[in-house]
Amino acid sequence: MGPDVSVCVATYRRPEGLARLLASLARLKLAAEPTLEILIVDNDPQRSAATTARSLGEYPHLVRWLEDPRRNIAHARNRAVDEASGRWLAFIDDDEVADEHWLAAHWQRAAEGECDGWFGPVLARLEENVSGWLDLAAFYARPRHPTGTLLGRASPRTGNAFVRRALFEGRRFDPAFGRSGGEDCELFGRMLHAGARFCWCDEAIVTEFVPAARYRLGWLGRRAFRGGFVHARLEQRRLGRVAAVLRGGPKALLALLLFAARVPAAASGGRAAAARAWLRACTQAGHLWALLGRDYQEYGPD
C-alpha cells in the first residue's frame, strides 16, 4: 500500500536551500497518519542536488531522488507527479521551509472532504537586510484568507499546495509556461474550470527565504513585469489572443501611462510610495509585452 501523501519538490541549484527544506520536513509533527514520501526532482543538468543527497544521512521519511535535466520547471514538476504514489500531492519550493504543523494542518482539512485542494500562506523572511527602506510586509507579503475560504484562479500556487492526486489524471503542468512562470496558475485554473474546489488553510504555514539578491527594487520590478506578462498569457489562453488584446490592451496601456506619470509625484511621499507606483507600471508593461506577442523568460537555460 502506497503513502497517503507525496511531497513534491522541484529544485535547481539550491543545495543549501534544499537541505534547509529537508531539515524542516524531518521536524514535521505527524500522528499515525498521514504516511508520506518525499520526491526531489533535480532540474539541473549538473546534478547540484546530489550534494544534498550525499549529506542527508539518516532521515525519518522515504526520500526519492529523481532527475529531469530539461531546464523547465514544468518538466520537473511533471516528473514528480508521474512518480508520486500518494493519494494527495503536497507541493513546496526549495527556498522554503515548512512549519512543523504544515502537513498535519493540510491533512486535517483534507479529511473533512470539503475541497479537492488546500493552499496556505507563504511568509517572507530575509536572509540578509541590504535595503532597509524596502518594507518586507509591504513589498513581499502575499494575501492571506480565513481558513475555508473558496479560492479562484488568482490564488492557487505550488509554493504551498495540497491537492488530490485524482485531479492530475489527464492533466500536467504546461511546459509552455515553464520558463516564464505561471505553470501552476495555468494548471490549477484548468482544474477549477473542470469543477474542482480549492480552499484556504491558514494554519498550514511555510516560510520563504528572501536572499539579498532579491531584496532589491530591481528584482521586484522584474517580478512585477513577469506577473503582468504571465497574467496576459493566461488571459490569451483563456479568451483567445484577439479577444485578450481587445479586452486588455487599451486598459494596460492607459494604466502604464498613468502609473508611470505618478512616479515623480509619488516620490514626494517617499521612496516606498514612488516604488509602488513604479512597480504597478512594470506590471502593466509586462501585460502589454505579452499582448504584443513578445516572449519573456525569467528562468533561462543557465
What CATH number is given to the structural domain containing 184?
Answer: 3.90.550.10
Average pLDDT, the chain: 93
Range of the domain at 31: 5-214
% of the chain with per-residue pLDDT over 70: 98
Residues 6 or more apart from 109 whose CB is under 8 A from it? 115, 118, 147, 162, 199, 201, 204
75/178 same-domain check: yes
Residues 222, 212: Cα–Cα separation, whole Å: 15
The average pLDDT across 91-111 equals 97
**What is the pLDDT, as a whole number, of residue 299?**
66
The average pLDDT across 39-60 equals 93
- Nine-digit cell string for 81: 507527479
122/221 same-domain check: no
Residues 8, 166: Cα–Cα separation, whole Å: 15
Rounded (5°) CA angle 155-41-141: 30
- Does 180 score more than 80 pLDDT? yes
What 8-state DSSP symbol labels residue 148?
Answer: T
Pairing of strands 198-200, 62-67: unpaired
Residues 118, 109: Cα–Cα separation, whole Å: 8
Residues 119, 183: Cα–Cα separation, whole Å: 16
78/151 same-domain check: yes
**What is the pLDDT, as a whole number, of residue 68?**
95
- Does 132 score more than 80 pLDDT? no
Name the residue with cell 513546496: 92
% of the chain with per-residue pLDDT over 90: 80
**What is the pLDDT, as a whole number, of residue 155?**
81
- Does 150 score more than 80 pLDDT? yes
- Does 143 score more than 70 pLDDT? yes
What 8-state DSSP symbol labels residue 292?
Answer: T
Residue 106: phi and psi, rounded to 5, are -60, -45
193/241 same-domain check: no
224/181 same-domain check: no
193/232 same-domain check: no
- Does 301 score more than 60 pLDDT? no
The average pLDDT across 213-240 equals 93
The average pLDDT across 113-142 equals 88
pLDDT category at 15 given cuts 50, 70, 90 is very high
- Does 103 score more than 80 pLDDT? yes
- Does 129 score more than 80 pLDDT? no
195/231 same-domain check: no
The average pLDDT across 278-289 equals 96
Pure H helices in 240-297:
241-266, 271-291
The total domain count for the chain is 2
184/252 same-domain check: no
The neighbour count for residue 296, using CB atoms within 10 Å, is: 17
Name the residue with cell 504555514: 205
CA atoms within 13 A on the CB side of 4: 14
Pairing of strands 5-11, 36-42: parallel
**What is the pLDDT, as a whole number, of residue 300?**
55
**What is the pLDDT, as a whole number, of residue 101?**
97
- Does 298 score more than 80 pLDDT? no
